[in-house]
Structure 1
Amino acid sequence: MSESNQHLRIPHTLTAWPWPRTLNPYYQTVKAESSAWLESFKAFDPKAQAGFNSCDFNLLASLAYPLASKEHLRTGCDLMNLFFVIDEYTDIEDEVHAAMVASVTMDALRNPFKPRPRGEIIIGEIARQFWARTVPTITEASHRRFIETFDTYLQSVVVQARDRSKQHIRSIQDYLHMRRDNIGAKPSFAILELSLDLPDYVMSHPSIQTATVTAIDMLIIGNDLCSFRNEHARGDDTHNILTIARHEFGQGLGHAVNWIESYNKSLRRSFLSAIERVPSWGEEIDTQVAEYLYGLANWVRANDCWSFESHRYFGKHGREIQVHRVVDLACGHPECVQDTDNEVEKPATKGLLYEVEKKTYVGPLQVNTKDPIAFRSDFPLSARPKDITSTPTRLTCVALLCTLSTFIGWLVKL
């Protein structure tokens, strides 16, 4: 790498993004519950588990789902933890192993109250318990969309493993097409619907689809900018938009960053324009649509904040890098970033992938399906403790989207 490419400038992609950082007030409580649950599976050795915990995927969920009830925040936290367990178990493996993980996970999600086979990889039981806890509390539409989108996500993970083994570098358009599935945004967006009942004709409307895809592309950009240093240091950066852009344009890192910055601005304009064009379907549906659109917009902010606040990408230096926006690519990950040795960078999953034969199967979660389900519309928002940042209610989502329309016109032109 040339001297001019020794540093990565991370552009301020959300300077004009009108949705502020917001944290679910149940963050600390649910984090403790979800973390204890995941650690009970002993999916990683103690050292690797400590590295996993430092990433604080519960923070990501709590930033991404600030409107969620305590019950549904638990679903979000468990999902984020499941996502990254899958990531750790497939990121260094071949297509065959990734396909096996995908098959086991989907079977568990489709049969959450069926005991898992003895000796199966532990991901099966993690996925089963996660979804068994969730199913009784959600709408049929959100259930269906989650299963569909999670299956698509896992199949894309298999394709990524194939690309990685062949060192295949895609074109920008091919990469974005695949990455929209394997970044995990679509099932994450399905969590926004857990207490909503949005018809298919609403979710398939062109304006909703445009808002969804542009939000996903902004997540891709944010994730790839922040993860590039780690991936580059371990020689696994072929599945990153920075490498893709450098390869397609035949230019250096600076040119790729400039292109990404410009593309991100066009995505922002596209998103703001799309939500302005969303039609009315009546008050009941419009209120739910407003909450969903707020969720999409907030996810973009949440991912950006978590990328710097957790230790996932920059270790202890995330807050500092969030300010000066420059990352040194020459010093090697993770010693100078996380102040740890190389073994912690990628959890040592070898030997921990399969359940111990003597481990006793606990059985499905005992869920009383006759208990009233605490849907969002019945949840007493006024009783929640206040976070240091604002905690919007469903009505404030509607109000925010309405007031935004007064200045989106000039903002789109920026």
Structure 2
Amino acid sequence: MGPAAQQFYVPDLLSILNLQSNTNPHEDVVRAETEKWVYLYGIFTDVAWDKFLESDVPRFASRTFFYADRQKLRDCSDFCLLMFALDDITDDEDKKKGTLTSQASIHAMQSNGPALSSSPAERMIKDYRARFFKATGPILQRRLLKGWEATFKAFPKELEVRESKEVLSIEEYTLIRRDSCALRMAFTHIEYALGIELPDGVYENPVFNELYLAALDMAWLLNDVYSYGKEHAKGQATWNYLTVVMHEKSGNLQTAADYSGVKFRELYDRFIDAKSRLPSWGKPLDSDVAAFLEGVGIWLAGTLRWCFEMPRYFGPHYEDISFTYLVDLGVFDA
């Protein structure tokens, strides 16, 4: 017997990766520090703060950067909390307000000068920027700035689609989602956590770019599939890969979820194939590239583990779903 109309099975994406996911030994210490850092800016009301804490973003950072030393885990955790906080703050903004938020966020990250306003979010961005720039060289700084600008320029496009209830084609959606997902910046933090800086020539290599895009697509795809219930409850599911697939392929929710699992497998196979075709840049760069690619795998596996450890995406029955993979849309709060 298949699932009811308001239920669907999400694919077991972790089994496709077949990678272990550990936690960082500095998780508990860093959790207290990084949550205090966000709290002191006063971004959330008491109720919203309690809701935000349920996601346990420091655990997310612990799983995705389990190899980082204490200070780098703290910085990566702060980055993750900053991005999750901005995501929650802007979640209900319309295009007009969201565009202003995006412009202010870009200015706060790119400018050495003061923030355009005294908003807590802009001050947090300024704070994080100063620390990241102090700890890194020009290559990672440039890479972070480029990813940040791409993310917040894509965000108003996302809001426009949400407001209009337009459903894009798979190709159109993919091109915008690659930027709006903020994962280019997350991957830059993999380099930072490893203590490496890959030269631009590596990123410009077509084979490396092929596997990089495959990893990027896997990362936002898993987020879309596992967060569908939450977005559906908020009336925001038009901006989700499952909706896009249902529209383009004329299928139902279950067939779209099944299709996403197949797509994830194709992307992973593409990643592995491209990895086998990478050129050699000689020592020690080849070792740095290999470490980065391992870090990407850790990011993907860690994200998938975390999704089943917190109620952020699967609601109150997240522990059950980790065994059954059956999502009930009726249990989500708007």
TM-score normalised by the chain length of structure 1: 0.77
Report the equivalent of 1:32. 32
In structure 2, give the amino acid aligned to 1:285: L
Distance 1:4 1:246, change over 3 A: farther
Q: Displacement, 1:201?
A: 0.9
Report the equivalent of 1:276. 276
Report the equivalent of 2:255. 255
Report the equivalent of 2:122. 124
Q: Displacement, 1:233?
A: 1.6
Pick one of 166, 169, 176 that aligns with 1:168.
166
Question: Matched residues in 2 for 1:156 and 1:192: separation?
Answer: 22
1:104 aligns with 2:104: yes
Number of aligned positions between the proteins = 331
Structure 1: 5+ residue stretches without partners:
335-341, 343-414
Where does 1:155-304 land on structure 2 (aligned, <5 Å)? 155-194=153-192, 195-304=195-304
Question: Matched residues in 1 for 2:210 and 2:29: separation?
Answer: 35
Q: Percent identity?
A: 27
Q: Displacement, 1:223?
A: 0.9
1:212-242 superposed Cα distances (whole Å, 9 cap, x missing partner): 1111211222111211111112211001111
Q: Displacement, 1:173?
A: 1.1
1:8 aligns with 2:21: no
Question: Matched residues in 2 for 1:116 and 1:177: separation?
Answer: 30
SS at the partner of 2:159?
helix
Report the equivalent of 2:41. 41
RMSD: 1.7
SS at the partner of 1:92?
coil
Report the equivalent of 1:77. 77
Question: Matched residues in 2 for 1:100 and 1:120: separation?
Answer: 14
Report the equivalent of 1:369. none
In structure 2, give the amino acid aligned to 1:20: Q
8 Å contact 2:178–2:220 — kept in the other structure? yes
8 Å contact 2:229–2:332 — kept in the other structure? yes
Structure 2: 5+ residue stretches without partners:
none
Q: Displacement, 1:62?
A: 1.5
Q: Displacement, 1:110?
A: 2.1
In structure 2, give the amino acid aligned to 1:58: P
1:239-270 superposed Cα distances (whole Å, 9 cap, x missing partner): 11111111111221122122112111111111
Structure with more helix by fraction: 2
Question: Matched residues in 2 for 1:256 and 1:327: separation?
Answer: 14
8 Å contact 2:16–2:265 — kept in the other structure? no
Report the equivalent of 1:144. 142
TM-score normalised by the chain length of structure 2: 0.94
In structure 2, give the amino acid aligned to 1:174: E
In structure 2, give the amino acid aligned to 1:264: F
Question: Matched residues in 2 for 1:175 and 1:41: separation?
Answer: 34
Where does 1:42-57 land on structure 2 (aligned, <5 Å)? 42-57=42-57
Question: Matched residues in 1 for 2:172 and 2:115: separation?
Answer: 36
Q: Displacement, 1:298?
A: 1.3
Runs (4+) of structure 1 moved beyond 2 Å? 114-117, 314-317
8 Å contact 1:14–1:301 — kept in the other structure? yes
Question: Matched residues in 1 for 2:134 and 2:331: separation?
Answer: 47
Q: Displacement, 1:56?
A: 1.1
Report which of the two structures shows the higher radius of gyration computed on alpha carbons: 1
1:333 aligns with 2:332: yes
1:71-125 superposed Cα distances (whole Å, 9 cap, x missing partner): 221221111111122112222112221121112222222235x4435x5322110
Q: Displacement, 1:31?
A: 1.3
Q: Displacement, 1:316?
A: 4.1
